Amino acid sequence: MKIILSRKGFDSANGGMPSPIMPDGTLLSMPIPSDDNVFYDELTYGGHSYSEILHQLAPRKKFGQCHVDPDIRKNCRQKSVPNWAPAFGQIGAAQGVLSNAKVEVGDIFLFFGWFRKVELHVGKYRFVRRNAGDFYDHSDLHVIYGYLQIGEIVSGRDQISRFPWHPHSSDIRLDVSSNTLYLPAKTLSVLPDLTGYGTLDYRNDRVLTMNGKSRATWNALPYLLPEHVYGQRKNGARGAGLYYGGIWQELVINESEGLIDWVKSIIH
């Protein structure tokens, strides 16, 4: 079994700010801006639209349309989608990584992104101020916020068109040969009481970022070391920790001692 650490949601180039860790611990991954036919106004959390939350956190920014992918958060749309099903799409070079690494049915995506805690202040959300509380309370963090165990891999115009609500079913992507959808298994093989996909709330053990470091320097977990990573990636961290530099979306980890136990502990 392979585990794929898949970077999703806002980053410095797409969105330009962290996704919020809400006061109740919800890791509310914000889909990146795009020309897809879904608007931040149409997505909701706690009775507020995503656009309203984002405006409170960053009043000078404007957010219109977005790319809802991975689509794994149930009931986040104001209007329900008939026959909705969870799915994650990939295309181009990032899909090439998954294909070349022989990612297959049964492998598990762990979705992570850039997050920071928010709080309510005078009735509005704001990011927790710097140097408030401990490191985890105020820092920019890479945090695992969701998972999907692959139950089916779908490609080709006719097959992907069966999921018209998903952004990878758009005309601009349907005819790209690498366009692929990953659908979840019914249950999670390593934790059979759970569904094959889901979102996670905040816990310190779901934080990849090393205490006291910038968000992209991770805890040096033994199963994430370069010798277990597809593509001969090198650890660019200065001193302690792990750092896989460059612009990338998918980090494929081959199974090694302790990896599956770690995944179970993250999801459980």
**Per-residue pLDDT tens digits for 109-122:** 999 999 999 999 99
Which residue type is seen at 25?
G
pLDDT beyond 90 at 133: no
Percent of the chain clearing pLDDT 70 (strictly above): 100
Q: Where are the beta strands (DSSP E) in the chain?
A: 3-7, 19-21, 32-33, 44-45, 48-49, 66-67, 88-90, 108-121, 124-127, 141-155, 180-184, 187-188, 191-195, 197-199, 250-253
Please answer whether residues 108 and 39 qualify as being in contact, where contact means their C-beta atoms are separated by less than 8 angstroms: no
Q: pTM of the prediction?
A: 0.97
Q: How far is residue 135 CA from its own chain's centroid?
A: 22
pLDDT for residue 199 = 98
**Per-residue pLDDT tens digits for 77-90:** 999 999 999 999 99
Per-residue pLDDT band for 132 (boundaries 50, 70, 90) equals confident
**Per-residue pLDDT tens digits for 46-102:** 999 999 999 999 999 999 999 999 999 999 999 999 999 999 999 999 999 999 999
Please answer whether residues 66 and 36 qualify as being in contact, where contact means their C-beta atoms are separated by less than 8 angstroms: yes
For the chain, give every domain's residue range. 3-267
Angstrom distance (rounded) from CA 168 to CA 164: 8
Per-residue pLDDT band for 149 (boundaries 50, 70, 90) equals very high
